[in-house]
Amino acid sequence: MKKLVTVLFLILFFIHSYSQNMTFQVEFSKNYATLDFLNNISSTRQTNPYKKAFNKSKYNTEKYNQLLKAFANINIFYSYEFPQYPYGNKIGGNTYFILNRNLLESSNLEEFKKKSFGIIPNEDLNKLYNILVEFQPIYEDLIYIPCKPLFEKQLKNIQSLVAAVDIDSPFKQLLHFHKSNWDLNLPFKMYISPIPDERKIGFTATAFYNLAIAGIPQGFDNYKQLLAVMFHESFHILYDEQSLKVKEDIASWFNANDSKNANYAQLLFNEAITTATANGYLYKNLAGTLPKGNWYNNKYIAEMAQKMYPLVKTYLDEKKQIDQKFINKYIALMDNEFPQWLYDIDHVLMQRYIISESKDAYRNLSKKHRYSNINEYRNTISALTIQEMKGHPITKVIIVTNNNEKHLSLIKNSFQELKHWAPKPNSNFAFTTFLSDKTHLIIINSLSEDISGLLENLHIK
């Protein structure tokens, strides 16, 4: 009898949980906006609207520039990982997002300081607090007050849109599809801040925990696109919050597929499924039609998202959950629609592990192939770093610019696939091979640190 009552309770709890409506809130946070302002006017940032406003203002003085230098030297980013999850399938934690959350959810900076005690060293927290206190009135004077009349209209329009459309249903559909963990009692909050620029396009957006943040220019009015992009970032969180068991199941489904594309399909999956659901499925719910043109600013993600959209729509409409059949159909799309991507250098370098003892060579490769959502880097060629590299199921790049004969011999002896390889240490070359973990190994041998010529002619065979 006790067991039956427990089962009934769990069933009723599940029904109650999914019968609840998600609460979506749209707000402005002066605390967070001040930190964002500081980040944008720091010396390491390129010219931007915030920096232009500060540089021509009365606040561009020795006092405040010294405070900006002090701000740049405060380390507020410490990270930690969840190593029990399959590689690349769980976002690590970091103190920067925790501090951001505390700024967003505090009514004033004093409350932020109290909430943040112990997250970073107290000396650094006090410095950060004092600089925020100094710059908050500057932010208000230079950015918020001039933008306020139009920004308040924009904020009201976004709040009205969120209240008028059904975001709850697709959010729950995706929660169910991903088998994700979420507390529906927890409101989803979107924080908007003004960018002092009259242009109508271009905005920034990111999400963490149950929060999404975006900066919008004064001329911006495509609020449906804004919500789609903000929920794109938020849907990454739903994907991330799958249980360890679900993550392991998905990884095993990719690994069990015989396709040579299976691993690179898995590496693309997070962005592709999120774009298909947010920029496709949710956008259609908001606007009544699918968006025109590219759904994302990366061709591989955009094209795959659009190709997999019918499959995604079917699963969401039929209230199905992600399963092995879905993964196999997704991999088949890559096999049939994009077989050339396996040999596309820009595609395979979207996730990469690079070993190079030359910083110039590393920078050269990074500049040539800018887009990456996973980028591991080690600056020593050794048995240890190569062994570590082998444990990462992403494209592997080793750049040899010194001790060429010794390093090439070490590399050859580290990979079974190089058993019959006969490199010429005294010549410049780029060599590629496909490994048993279904990733490419790229070896660049250069007699100087300038590898630009080799990169121009780098092709995957």
CB contact set of 205 (below 8 Å; sequence gap of 6+): 212, 213, 214, 226, 229, 230, 232, 233
Q: Report whether pLDDT(16) > 70.
A: no
Separation between Cα atoms, residue 339 and residue 237, nearest integer Å: 30
User: Across residues 311-317, what is the average pLDDT?
Assistant: 95
Query: Can you give the pLDDT at residue 66?
Result: 96
What is residue 227's predicted lDDT score, i.e. its pLDDT?
Answer: 81
Q: What is the pLDDT of residue 424?
A: 94
Residue-level pLDDT at 351? 95
pTM, rounded to two decimals: 0.86
Position 8 scores a pLDDT of 43
Per-residue confidence (pLDDT) for residue 457, from 0 to 100: 86
Which residues are within 8 A (CB) of 165 and not within 5 positions of it... i.e. 6 or more apart?
285, 286
Cβ neighbours of residue 9 closer than 8 Å, sequence gap 6 or more? none
Q: Is the pLDDT of residue 10 over 50?
A: no
Condensed to tens digits (0 to 9), the pLDDT of residues 94-146 reads: 999 999 999 999 999 999 999 999 999 999 999 999 999 999 999 999 999 99
- Check residue 88 and report its DSSP letter: T
Higher pLDDT, 227 or 50: 50
230 vs 194, which has greater pLDDT? 194
Helices (H) and strands (E) in the chain, counts: 20, 11
Which pair of tokens denotes residue 36? 């964002």
Band (6; pLDDT cuts 50, 70, 90): very low
Where is pLDDT greater, at 200 or 103? 103
Mean pLDDT of 356-377: 91
Both tokens assigned to 391 = 């444990």
What pLDDT does residue 200 have?
Answer: 67
Share of the chain above pLDDT 90, in %: 72
- Residue 19 has a pLDDT of 57
Q: Provide the mean pLDDT of the chain.
A: 91
Structural contact between residues 432 and 440, judged by C-beta atoms closer than 8 angstroms: yes
Query: What are the DSSP calls for 341-361, one per residue?
Result: GGG-HHHHTTEEEEEES-HHH
C-alpha to C-alpha distances, 25 to 61, 159, 207, nearest whole angstrom:
38, 8, 14
Closest CA to 187 of 212, 152, 161: 212
As a whole-number percent, the residues of the chain with pLDDT over 70 amount to 95
- Are 120 and 78 in contact, with CB atoms under 8 Å apart? yes
Q: Is 455 left (phi over 0), alpha (psi -120 to 50) or beta?
A: alpha
Higher pLDDT, 262 or 163: 262
DSSP of 195-206: ES---SS--EEE
